[in-house]
Structure 1
Amino acid sequence: MEVLFILIAFSLLLAGGFLIAFIRSVKSGQFDDPVTPGMRMLFDDTSQHHHNKKEE
């Protein structure tokens, strides 16, 4: 039974460590993507344009 408590405590510490690492990476801007919005306007949305023609 003691092993179960040790494993639960270890898993909570590990999950907390991953949560702290995730929050630090978000705050440091690691998940920001400044390139994609500028590239998106260069490509046509042919599927949406083609879909609108079918409705008319």
Structure 2
Amino acid sequence: MEASLFLLLPISLLLVILIGVAFWWAIFSGQFDNTNQAAESILHDNDTDS
């Protein structure tokens, strides 16, 4: 039981750190700046036949 904790705790801490870094990068790279643009783009789509 104790041996599995020595393996799973570092793995889970590493995973939490990686998720935090990915979220930090997403925030500061502008991924969440304009969340309405993608939702409104479908409404302004030009569906005319060429």
Q: Deviations over 1:4-52 (max 9, x none)?
A: 121011000000000000000111000111757xx8xxxxxxxxxxxxx
For residues 4 and 25 of structure 2, the distance between their equivalents in structure 1, rounded to whole angstroms, comes to 31
What do you get for the CA RMSD once the two structures are aligned?
Answer: 1.9
Count of aligned pairs between the two proteins:
37
Structure-2 residue corresponding to 1:17: 18
Ranked by relative contact order (alpha carbons within 8 Å, sequence separation 6 or more), the top structure is: 2
Q: Residues 33 and 4 of structure 1: is their aligned pair in 2 closer, same or farther, counting only changes over 3 Å?
A: same
TM-score for both structures, normalised by structure 2 = 0.62
Distance in 2 of aligned mates of 1:9 and 1:17: 12
Alignment-mate amino acid for residue 11 of structure 1: S
**Structure 1 residue ranges, 4+ long, deviating more than 2 angstroms after superposition:** none
Query: Which protein has the larger Cα radius of gyration, Structure 1 or Structure 2?
Result: 1
Distance change in 2, residues 1:10/1:34 (3 Å): closer
Gaps of 5+ in 2: 41-50
Tell me what 2:46 maps to: none
